[in-house]
């Protein structure tokens, strides 16, 4: 994780939680791909808006965020534990039916993303499902408030996923958003399934 980006979320946890949008409309489709009551790992849970839906639907959730301050805000809102965990601390083997990573892996430095995706691949059970979203671009850089983004192109991202383990792509689509700093961005949403051995 980029240290300046992590410090932004540590300093601004309350403000970011207050800004956080309604849960993604893609969450229901993701949950529909999982067994009822299945185990989900959420990376970068932020204010806990997606986690609240997962818990209400009866899934077994391990919610995490890289910022201890954000994790505390989410845990208070949810009444459910939220761990402070960086992406490179993920070390489980075949533990989860699904991994949900909404607008968080976009902060991983480009040269580290394949390694993080490999960790996610290992942590998923065979045929487990993984959702992530990224801001589309061509060169990494920082936004107007100093947060790092890897800004991948779809082709670069596809190659990076392929290098991290065998997946089957289930869907890929885009949406237009306005970021925390008010800048417009195009988001790429990718859902893949870990290939069964």
Give the strand pairing for 39-42 and 82-84: unpaired
Q: CA torsion sign, 124 to 125 to 131 to 134? A: positive
Q: What is the DSSP letter of 3?
A: H
Please tell me whether residue 195 adopts helix, strand or coil conformation: coil
How many CA within 13 A on the CB side of residue 42? 30
pLDDT of residue 197: 67
pLDDT of residue 23: 84
Q: CA torsion sign, 55 to 116 to 169 to 134? A: positive
CA distances from 2 to 59, 88, 106, 112, 192 (A): 31, 12, 11, 10, 25
CA distances from 60 to 28, 54, 149 (A): 16, 8, 30
Dig out the tokens for 147 from the structure.
């947060």
pLDDT of residue 15: 86
Please tell me whether residue 121 adopts helix, strand or coil conformation: helix
Dig out the tokens for 72 from the structure.
């505390």
Dig out the tokens for 36 from the structure.
């009822």
Q: Which of 146, 152, 119 is nearest to 133 (CA)?
A: 152
> All domains of the chain, ordered by start, with CATH?
3-103+112-186 (3.40.50.150)
pLDDT of residue 22: 74
* Cβ proximity of 52 and 26 under 8 Å: no
pLDDT of residue 191: 98
Q: Measured between alpha carbons, how far is 79 from 97 in angstroms, rounded to an integer? A: 23
CA distances from 90 to 32, 79, 85, 195 (A): 25, 23, 8, 20
> Which parts of the chain have pLDDT scores under 50?
none
> What residues contact residue 101 under an 8 Å CB cut-off, 6+ apart?
42, 43, 44, 120, 130, 131, 132, 133
């Amino acid at each position: 994780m980029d240290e300046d980006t992590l410090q932004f979320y540590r300093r601004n946890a309350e403000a970011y939680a207050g800004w956080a949008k309604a849960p993604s409309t893609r969450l229901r489709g993701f949950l529909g791909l999982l067994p009822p009551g299945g185990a989900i790992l959420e990376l970068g849970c932020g204010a806990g808006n997606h986690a609240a839906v997962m818990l209400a639907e009866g899934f077994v959730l391990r919610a995490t965020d890289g910022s201890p301050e954000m994790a505390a805000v989410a845990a208070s809102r949810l009444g459910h534990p939220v761990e402070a965990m960086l992406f490179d601390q993920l070390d489980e083997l075949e533990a989860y039916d699904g991994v949900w990573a909404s607008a968080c892996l976009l902060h991983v430095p480009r040269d580290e993303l394949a390694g993080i995706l490999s960790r996610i691949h290992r942590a998923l059970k065979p045929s487990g499902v993984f959702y992530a979203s990224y801001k589309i671009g061509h060169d990494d850089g920082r936004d107007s408030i100093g947060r790092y983004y890897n800004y991948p192109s779809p082709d670069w991202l596809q190659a990076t996923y392929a290098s991290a383990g065998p997946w089957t792509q289930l869907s890929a689509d885009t949406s237009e958003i306005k970021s925390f700093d008010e800048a417009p961005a195009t988001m790429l949403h990718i859902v893949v399934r870990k290939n069964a051995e």
